[in-house]
């Protein structure tokens, strides 16, 4: 079984490889063809479904919906020329900061 990091690396590579494929042959390509707003909508839908799984106390659904959410988030990041490395860098920047302090220091 792959580590979580290896799984995310492989998924990112698959997303990049399928970006320019025929939208009729690739779900990833179809998302890119529909544009960033549609991809963002899918992220929102999956986030809601993830929250609903929590509310239902359904751990199996939580894992499944979280996987859908992460997939669509990675597609959205790619559509913006970003990756999980950018997210990791931001989390590293915040490391050691109180969450309350970090939030208070954000620009309005």
Check: CB of residue 50 under 8 Å from CB of residue 69.
yes
Q: Give the count of beta carbons closer than 10 Å to the beta carbon of residue 48.
A: 12
pTM over 0.75: yes
Does the pLDDT of residue 75 top 90, yes or no?
yes
Q: How confident is the model at residue 102 (pLDDT cuts 50, 70, 90)?
A: low
The overall average pLDDT reported for the chain is: 93
Does the pLDDT of residue 90 top 90, yes or no?
yes
Report the alpha-carbon distance of residue 30 to residue 25 in Å, rounded: 8
Does the pLDDT of residue 103 top 80, yes or no?
no
CATH number of 4-82: 1.10.287.1080
What's 83's DSSP letter? Answer: -
Q: What pLDDT shows up at residue 1? A: 73
In the chain, the percentage of residues whose pLDDT exceeds 90 is 82
Average pLDDT estimate for 70-89: 97
pLDDT digits (tens, 9 = 90+) for 46-56: 999 999 999 99
pLDDT digits (tens, 9 = 90+) for 24-63: 999 999 999 999 999 999 999 999 999 999 999 999 999 9
Domain residue extents for the chain: 4-82
């Amino acid at each position: 079984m792959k580590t979580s990091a290896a799984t995310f690396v492989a998924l990112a590579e698959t997303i990049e490889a399928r970006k320019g494929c025929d939208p009729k042959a690739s779900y990833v390509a179809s998302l890119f063809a529909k544009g960033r707003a549609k991809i963002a909508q899918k992220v929102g839908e999956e986030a809601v479904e993830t929250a609903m799984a929590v509310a239902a106390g359904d751990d199996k659904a939580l894992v499944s919906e979280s996987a859908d959410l992460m997939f669509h988030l990675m597609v959205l990041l790619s559509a913006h020329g970003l990756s999980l490395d950018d997210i990791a860098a931001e989390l590293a920047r915040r490391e050691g900061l109180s969450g309350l302090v970090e939030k208070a220091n954000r620009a309005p």
